[in-house]
Structure 1
Amino acid sequence: MEAIVLAGGFGTRLQHVVSDVPKPMAPMDDQGTPFLRLLLNQLHRYGCQHVVLSIGYKGQVIRDYFHDAYLDMAIDYAAEDMPLLTGGAVKKALPLCHSEQVFVLNGDTYFNIDFTAMMAYHQQHQAEFTLAAKEMHDFDRYGTLTLAQDGRIQAFVEKKPQAQGWINGGIYCLQRDLLADVQADKFSLEQEFLELHTQDMRMYAFPSEGYFIDIGIPEDYYRAQRDFGKIK
């Protein structure tokens, strides 16, 4: 099992709370345990052997903390000289992977899913791309997914107030050659690739009821700190 973690974002909305480290290195406790370490712990529990960290803003902080291995997982780095957005970051990191299927995780989101079950789901559906989906209630911060009965993604709907809906949980399983024909080096995976291919790509949602937190805004970052015992 191999995974790419997108850890190169600026974390603009967290700047006044966490300003000296990249967002995935935001401390979760008094000992300074970084959020990114929780993601790597999660991957390790499911037998991941190789992680590629996609780094950009203050990426040296991440290199200095994890070096070339964590637990018994080998770590490589795909460093951005300029912001490449999510699609460009994944495209740059994929050549460092060797497995036919690769997981991709947002570095500022923790979603307690069963990676083994998600991989099996991806393979059973002969999917090219599978995302972990979380059901939410009474929210306006996330876009939603329109799903067929078999879980196939039919559309991505822009964010607006919703009483209920399935959201993109920030964990993907994809074929390693998925972006091989994309010419652009800088693009949004979600808006400039996935949303354009719902009709011609085998794209599925893997539903999970697991704990979900996105530390992109201060109030949720503080909630993640309070919930640290649930996710460490």
Structure 2
Amino acid sequence: MIHQAVILAGGKGTRLGKLTEAMPKPVLPVGGDPFINYLIWNLTRYGVTDIVISSGYHHEQLVSILDCHPVSGVDIRFVQESTPLGTGGGLRNCLSILDDQFFVLNGDSIFDLNYHDLAKRAGSGAAIGLRRVDDTARYGRVEVTDDLATSFREKGESGPGFINSGIYCLTKAIVEDMPDGESSLECDLFPRLAAQKQLGAGQYTGFFIDIGIPEDFNRAQESVPAWKRMAASSEME
């Protein structure tokens, strides 16, 4: 059983304009609660109680808002980056407090997948959660063969396919091999693991939303609380 998750919350969220001028995207209010609290609540359903938040932009506001909206039953620790490090560098910055195996989540999206199943697909290495969508142009495309992610394509390619959901299962050993400083999980780490046939891929169909653009942030105000009220996903063990 994996009990730890790292939530990447260091980005500026510039596509949301004035909404993120005073606070980081993961704690924007959605249905009356900070968006990130829905991620944390969902993790607790799978036994995750140790939450590490990799922060940067508006760190103080992030801490203050979460202090005012606590989630019971979890231990939350913050690791602040002094300069922007990207998703890979932000994770590497948390190295000293990582468990041997843990989940990683982007702080601006929700995907209702089965974390236990994702962990099985990782084995003693790495796995990525994938979501099939009608048009991959906004997200980029992930190619899959025999339950392994084999390649990653840039944004802009239209048509149906699998996208990176922003949820991963990784090991501390993998993070130890990453370079210090700025790097990207999506551009630097995952293509390398895929080329080595070391990146498991789980394909899931649960609720998914990314609040990175105003249209989806507005849609989240009703759809995210409605998702939380629903029964557990059929993919949940």
TM-score by length of 2: 0.89
Q: Are the counterparts in 1 of residues 121 and 201 from structure 2 also a CA contact under 8 Å? A: no
Q: Are the counterparts in 1 of residues 150 and 197 from structure 2 also a CA contact under 8 Å? A: no
Q: Aligned ranges for residues 96-111 of structure 1 at < 5 Å?
A: 96-98=97-99, 100-111=100-111
Matching of residue 87 in structure 1 with residue 88 in structure 2: yes
Give the structure 2 partner of residue 154 of structure 1: 150
One of 15, 19, 22 as aligned partner of 1:20:
22
Q: CA deviation at 1:144?
A: 0.7
Give the structure 1 partner of residue 140 of structure 2: 143
- Give, in whole Å, the separation in 1 of the partners of 2:106 and 2:13: 12
Partner-residue secondary structure (3-state), 1:183: coil
The Cα offsets for residues 41-99 of structure 1, whole Å up to 9 and x where unpaired, read as: 111111112010111111112212334x731111111101110000000111132122x
Partner-residue secondary structure (3-state), 2:176: coil
Instruction: Considering fraction of residues, name the structure with more helix.
Output: 2
One-letter identity of the residue aligned with 2:167: I
Q: CA deviation at 1:21?
A: 1.0
Q: Aligned ranges for residues 1-232 of structure 1 at < 5 Å?
A: 1-29=3-31, 31=32, 33-67=33-67, 70-98=71-99, 100-123=100-123, 126=124, 128-148=125-145, 150-232=146-228
Q: CA deviation at 1:120?
A: 2.3
- Percent identity of the aligned residues? 33
Name which of structure 1's ranges 53-62 and 153-162 shifts more when overlaid on structure 2: 153-162
- Give, in whole Å, the separation in 1 of the partners of 2:116 and 2:184: 27
The Cα offsets for residues 20-40 of structure 1, whole Å up to 9 and x where unpaired, read as: 2100011112x3x11011111
TM-score by length of 1: 0.91
Q: Where does structure 2 lack aligned partners over 5 or more consecutive residues?
A: 229-237
- Give, in whole Å, the separation in 2 of the partners of 1:203 and 1:228: 29
One-letter identity of the residue aligned with 1:214: D
Q: CA deviation at 1:209?
A: 0.2
Q: Are the counterparts in 2 of residues 38 and 231 from structure 1 also a CA contact under 8 Å? A: no
The Cα offsets for residues 208-229 of structure 1, whole Å up to 9 and x where unpaired, read as: 0001100111111111112133
The Cα offsets for residues 121-145 of structure 1, whole Å up to 9 and x where unpaired, read as: 322xx5x211110001134201111
CA RMSD across the alignment: 1.7
